């Protein structure tokens, strides 16, 4: 491989030139692409709550966490999160941000795609967040919109956000089908999520239920966008996955260790693969995950979800999210693969494997580290 000027110029095989650098017994890999983070929680030492916590109880704790954080703590948390992402191999990150917030000064090499979070079932709250989120997109070329979740924004407000995203030709990231409680709220207007919203002063009856099949219409709405990221999809059913497969511009973001933290039923990632849905990986936040190291998500899947092809797991952390984000932002430098014209920022994992099976065994247990070319 020949590199220079920040790019890979040539990839080949055979006898290396005399000035080639021997990296030893390693697997050479692209840098990683983390499709979903919430960096403002990066100061947390441990996830909020305990493993298996009910989702609505966790949300309550997270809201309390946000209310007690001051702007200085938030800035330090984001700075620390950016450093953790870069040090653990991430080169592009899809970040949910609470504007006003800028990331341009934090790193010259880590590309952060910042999705401005917009939420509010009450008109006043939504209007304020919509205005600030729209300004965020105007100010930052690598930005999109994030109508937070179906349980935190009205269907009318959601349509307004999606219309604005189409007008700006910016992508949308939205938490969808994250828990069974969400489905119950949207389809019946009842359940733990409805009870939780009532306890924080939200009158649910004007907003819920949506319909008996709430995610069908939502998938249709997201499918009208140039690019959309459906985050989690933990509770999507087979019929919904089949509808999702018809919209190639929608990418599902799966956060394996966060999914495991809540002890949800097995994620339908394999059903999505079989239908041709593009699925990529994210770490979510330290509120539900012990760290922001995307390679730990890869190793988790290689060890726990052996029903997923190992080669596909690697693509979910590299090429597939890079392609999805490049579709939304063509100005991004190509990454996610070792090929001519792509960024020369690479990583490596120690291995003495001589077979593919041995290689994936080593990848499932060994650390990823950044390759320093200069």
pLDDT digits (tens, 9 = 90+) for 117-171: 999 999 999 999 999 999 999 999 999 999 999 999 999 999 999 999 999 999 9
- Residue 87, pLDDT > 70, answer yes
Rounded CA-CA distance 7/5 in Å is 6
Q: What CATH architecture applies to the domain 31-345?
A: Alpha-Beta Barrel (3.20)
Kindly indicate the confidence band of residue 70, based on its pLDDT and cuts at 50, 70 and 90: confident
- Residue 303, pLDDT > 70, answer yes
How confident is the model over 85-101, as a mean pLDDT?
96
> For the chain, how far is it from start to end, CA to CA, in angstroms?
15
Runs of H (alpha helix) within the chain: 55-68, 71-87, 123-139, 155-168, 180-188, 192-199, 214-222, 238-244, 256-261, 269-274, 294-304, 310-316, 319-328, 356-365
- Residue 374, pLDDT > 70, answer no
Residues pairing with 175 in the sheet: 231
178-223: pLDDT as tens digits = 999 999 999 999 999 999 999 999 999 999 999 999 999 999 999 9
Candidates 222, 341, 247, 233; CA nearest to 281 is: 233
Rounded CA-CA distance 281/253 in Å is 5
Query: Token pair for residue 208?
Result: 């819920």
How confident is the model over 214-234, as a mean pLDDT?
97
Region of poorest pLDDT, from 69-73, 167-171, 194-198, 225-229: 69-73
- What b-and-e string marks burial along 41-71, b requiring 16 or more CB atoms within 10 Å of the CB? bbbbeebbbeeebebbebbbebeeeeeeeee
Phi, psi torsion values for 193, nearest 5 degrees: -70, -40
10-20: pLDDT as tens digits = 998 888 888 88
Rounded CA-CA distance 305/325 in Å is 25
CA dihedral 231, 235, 237, 243 (to 10 degrees): -20
- The pLDDT value recorded for residue 69 is 65
276 backbone φψ class: left, alpha, beta (φ>0; ψ -120 to 50): left
Residues pairing with 112 in the sheet: 93
- The pLDDT value recorded for residue 61 is 94
Q: What is the pTM of this model?
A: 0.96
Q: How many CB atoms lie within 10 A of CB 32?
A: 29
Region of poorest pLDDT, from 56-70, 254-268, 336-350: 56-70
- The pLDDT value recorded for residue 251 is 98
- The pLDDT value recorded for residue 316 is 98
Residues pairing with 31 in the sheet: none
- The pLDDT value recorded for residue 285 is 97
């Amino acid at each position: 491989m020949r590199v220079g000027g920040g790019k890979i110029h040539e990839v080949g095989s055979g006898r290396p030139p005399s000035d080639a650098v021997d990296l030893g017994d390693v697997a050479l890999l692209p840098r990683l692409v983390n499709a979903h983070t919430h960096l403002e929680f990066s100061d947390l030492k441990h996830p909020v709550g305990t493993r298996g916590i009910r989702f609505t109880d966790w949300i309550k704790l997270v809201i309390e966490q946000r209310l007690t954080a001051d702007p200085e703590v938030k800035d330090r948390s984001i700075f620390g999160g950016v450093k953790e992402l870069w040090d653990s191999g991430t080169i592009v990150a899809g970040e949910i941000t609470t504007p006003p917030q800028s990331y341009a000064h934090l790193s010259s090499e880590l590309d952060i795609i910042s999705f401005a979070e917009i939420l509010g079932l009450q008109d006043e709250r939504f209007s304020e967040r919509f205005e600030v989120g729209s300004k965020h997109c105007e100010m930052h070329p690598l930005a999109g919109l994030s109508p937070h979740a179906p349980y935190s924004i009205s269907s009318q407000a959601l349509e307004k956000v999606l219309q604005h995203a189409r007008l700006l030709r910016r992508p949308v990231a939205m938490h969808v089908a994250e828990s069974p409680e969400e489905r119950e709220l949207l389809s019946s207007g009842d359940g733990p999520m409805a009870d939780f919203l009532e306890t924080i002063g939200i009158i649910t009856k004007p907003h819920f239920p949506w319909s008996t099949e709430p995610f069908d219409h939502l998938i249709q709405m997201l499918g009208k966008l140039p690019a959309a990221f459906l985050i989690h999809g933990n509770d999507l059913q087979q019929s919904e996955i089949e509808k999702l497969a018809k919209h190639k511009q929608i990418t599902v973001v799966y956060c394996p260790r966060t999914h495991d933290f809540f002890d949800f039923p097995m994620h339908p990632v394999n059903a999505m693969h079989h239908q041709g849905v593009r699925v990529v990986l994210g770490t979510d936040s330290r509120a539900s995950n012990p760290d922001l190291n995307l390679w730990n998500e890869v190793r988790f899947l290689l060890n726990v979800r052996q029903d997923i092809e190992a080669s596909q797991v690697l693509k979910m952390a590299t090429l597939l999210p890079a392609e999805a984000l490049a579709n939304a932002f063509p100005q991004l430098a190509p990454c996610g693969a070792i090929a001519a014209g792509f960024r020369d920022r690479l990583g490596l994992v120690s291995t003495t494997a001589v077979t593919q099976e041995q290689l994936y065994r080593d990848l499932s247990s060994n650390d990823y580290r950044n390759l320093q070319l200069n």
